[in-house]
Amino acid sequence: MCGIAGILNLAGQDQSPERSLVERMTGALTHRGPDDTDIWISGPVGLGHQRLSIIDLSSLGRQPMTNEDSTVHISYNGEIYNFRELKETHKLIERGHKFRSRTDTEVLVHLYEELGIGMLPELDGMFAFALWDSNKGTLHLARDRFGIKPLFYTVQNDRLLFASEIKALLRDNSVPRRVNLQAMHDFLTFNYIPGDQTAFEGIYELPPAHLLTIKSDGGMYIKRYWKPEYKVEGGMTEETAVRNARRLMESAVRKQLVADVPVGVLLSGGMDSSALTALMSREEKGQVHTYSVGFEDESFNELPYARIVAEACDTVHKEVVVTPSLVRDLLPSYLSYIDEPYADGSAIPTYYVCGLAVEDVKVVLSGEGGDEVFAGYETHAAYKVSRLFRKIPGLVRNGMIKPLVNLLPVSNKKLSLEFKMKRFLGGQDLSVPEAHLWWRIVLTELQKSEIYSDRVLNEFSPLPSARFFQSRFDDSNASGALNKLLEIDSGIFLPDDLMIKNDRMSMAHSLEARVPMTDNELFGFMETVPEHIKLKGMRKKNVMREALKGLLPDEILIKKKVGLEMPYSKWLKHELKDLLDEYLSSERISDSGLFDPDSIKNLIDQHLANQVDHGRALWGLLNFMMWLELYIPDPGDLQAASPLEMVREGGPGLG
């Protein structure tokens, strides 16, 4: 894994980027690639690269890399798992291309010479790259299908700047540090920032499965090169689905074990990482190394299940228990690896387990994507139940059942009955995508308006955050609502939340994290599986559970999903309460100019009195205020930056 950065001057071919700025931007990414660094500048473009050596450890893999006549240069972050097949299929050697290394990077360079940017749909892997074609005076920025690898950009003073992380862009002092109020509004809904926006006005993230092409004369267009299809094979049997899913999971793991360095597994104790552990154990000759994280709170702790898998697969197993003191030690500094407000409760535990893994290995397999591919979330089963529940008259649902459920006492346990019942009932009168969002919503549109300052309310007219789920649902080609929900999860929740945690927390330790469940062939096959086989009755991940029979212990195959998250609702009442007192104090809230101090205090008081569980909202606000103090010198500067103008073309396809 690596870090990339660069500049394209848009004012003319004869104006080269400032070398010292390219060096500063690249140097900000040292943690992503501490093994080597280099920059290349020619004409209007400058490319920088920090290398983490995984395949071909020699200096021949150094980047930025070029072709034989130096007309194509690339700075690339990622792994293309089918690069050897692409090299052979397109007969790159037979067609006269000279290879100096064994890297996937060099295959990309020569593949581009043959196919142009039309090569993108053929790439199976995780990647973000910048490719300069000097013959055409064109820079291509591209990102993988599921947003596993990040890529950010901004346009300032007739220059396009891009990088793997926002911190590199901020090395240019001309880049403004202003709060993006719409991104703040959406963050308070999700506890992460969705879409191509970032927390900074004027800085954007290239969406997954998209290509951004920039001409040196300033012309820009963005295009989607791949989109899920969900063309269901109605006659498929469960036996066929299970057999093929098992084969493709085995293939995905086998492909992603290719490395010239040691590989381990982040074993959470859940179904996905347990599957990776078992499948990897069958492929590797020696013992597999597994790494797990847990908590003292039993409802959040999956270490006992991780131990069952580790013992069954005979792995070399290590564990770390995350305590409030360890969380305190990492606040607020862990946000400096993300550069944006981010409040997924799995981020800090992932940081610590990656720190444990890097003592032994340089690459780990991780289970992100399994729930999106195999239908594993509570929301998927809830959708199915809601179709039946809505047949009950509204008077009974809202007049009798809902009041009784609201009497349930607040529980701080993970996925408690109280939480699930209230979330389920709260979404019954909403559209399918809005009900899907309701399960994950942190603060509603009304609740957000109640905590904003008068100035924000007067100067800002937000778009509703539900637009992300609704538009993805409406634009989906999938037949069946469940597949549309899976497309929401794989297109929004997976890249904008899970992959951020996966990438930044592993890269903080210069550790490469691979995600086999997002394999092109596996995902493509599961798109064709009928909904009733994916979600059989109320049995989530039915296909995966059946495919892993005989490979994993029964305790793992029948266990309910817990998910990695910290018990912050409880900690904020006790061990970490002082952080609320410090960062959400009336004085700091008032100084921010963004929120109303009395409304924030009311949230805290209700939480501490156990009247309402505001744990997720308070954790989000806490992280936002920490980010604000780390990155924004003048929170009161609410002037919006000019939107970036470019041509947005349809997709998929790059014909």
**Ramachandran area for residue 545 (φ above 0: left; ψ -120 to 50: alpha; else beta):** alpha
- What gap in Å lies between CA 227 and CA 208, rounded to an integer? 10
Residue 193's contacts (CB-CB under 8 Å, 6 or more residues apart) are: 183, 186, 187, 199, 340, 341, 342, 496
Distances (CA, A) of 343 to 198, 238, 296, 332, 484: 15, 38, 21, 12, 26
Token pair 């911190």 is found at: 167
End-to-end CA distance of the chain: 30
354 is catalytic: no
- What gap in Å lies between CA 521 and CA 635, rounded to an integer? 46
Among candidates 449, 653, 508, which has minimal Cα distance to 164? 508
What is the enclosing helix (H) or strand (E) of 327? helix 324-330
The catalytic position among 1, 2, 21, 442 is 2
* DSSP at 640: P
Reduced to 3 states (helix: H, G, I; strand: E, B; else coil), residue 45 is: strand
- What gap in Å lies between CA 529 and CA 525, rounded to an integer? 7
- Cβ burial 493-509 (10 Å sphere, 16+ → b, else e): bbbbbbbbbbbbbbbbb
90 alpha carbon, distance to own chain's centre:
32
Residue 396's contacts (CB-CB under 8 Å, 6 or more residues apart) are: none
Residue 67 CB coordination number (10 Å): 16
- What gap in Å lies between CA 510 and CA 44, rounded to an integer? 31
- What gap in Å lies between CA 278 and CA 557, rounded to an integer? 12
Token pair 């879409």 is found at: 195
- What gap in Å lies between CA 206 and CA 192, rounded to an integer? 16
Q: Is the dihedral of CA 337, 571, 587, 198 positive or negative?
A: positive
Supply the DSSP string of 293-322, one letter for each residue: EE-SSTTT--HHHHHHHHHHTT-EEEEEE-
User: Bridge-partner residues for 79, per DSSP?
Assistant: 126
Residue 248's contacts (CB-CB under 8 Å, 6 or more residues apart) are: 519, 521, 522, 525
Peptide bond into 635 cis (omega under 30): no
The residues assigned a catalytic role are: 2
